[in-house]
Structure 1
Amino acid sequence: MVPSLYEGFSLPAIEAMCTGICLVATDGGALPEVTGIDGDTVLGCKAGDAEGLAATIRRGLDDPELRARVGLNGRNRVVERWTWRKCAEQTVEQYREVLSMPANQDKLRRNGRVK
């Protein structure tokens, strides 16, 4: 469970999802961007809504099929988006994109880094 009011990129959410358990999380900060869609990859509720959080937990506890499906979908989301390999590939791609910009190519030429 990630009951945050404000959250950046949430490693605890990713780690929980990676295990295949059904994650309950709020919509605080960047959590929805990480966790995905309520009822598909996460059981979500409004940040700061204690009754909503309790209802969301009950929803998961009362429906084993939903729990299993959300857990599996959450794990798949992590594996498709946030493996260390994927992060490294995306980082390299961003560097290549920045380095290929005309202004940066000029600087690299002036510094003798490219011909």
Structure 2
Amino acid sequence: MADTVLILEDAVFVREMEKKILFEKDKQVVGESNSSAEGVQLYQKLRPQLVIVDLQLADGTGLEAMQAISKIDDRARFLVISSHTALLDGIEAELESRIVGRMRKPFTVDELRTVLDQL
């Protein structure tokens, strides 16, 4: 799994839980945002090895963020965590290949640990 992680999540409590679990797994959260636009800027600056992305963000969708990030870096990898997974229906194969995991909200801490262990 990636050692550096960027979190794009609009719910503060979910971001905090994700950071706690990542810390337990010795992963470095290099940035976080509730915004698609800011998330893209952070990715460009920080170049994390993994982006944990919610599909519903404060200023747009996580799908838009993933598309923009993929144009910046063709090696970008995403873990999608959202209650809006239908937004992924019909995405292009190139972007689909960058999604290394998916989780549906609500989820438990143990479910997140399991998914992170599989990456």
| TM-score normalised to structure 2 length | 0.33
Structure with higher strand content: 2
- TM-score (structure 1 length as normaliser): 0.34
Instruction: Report which of the two has the higher share of helix.
Output: 1
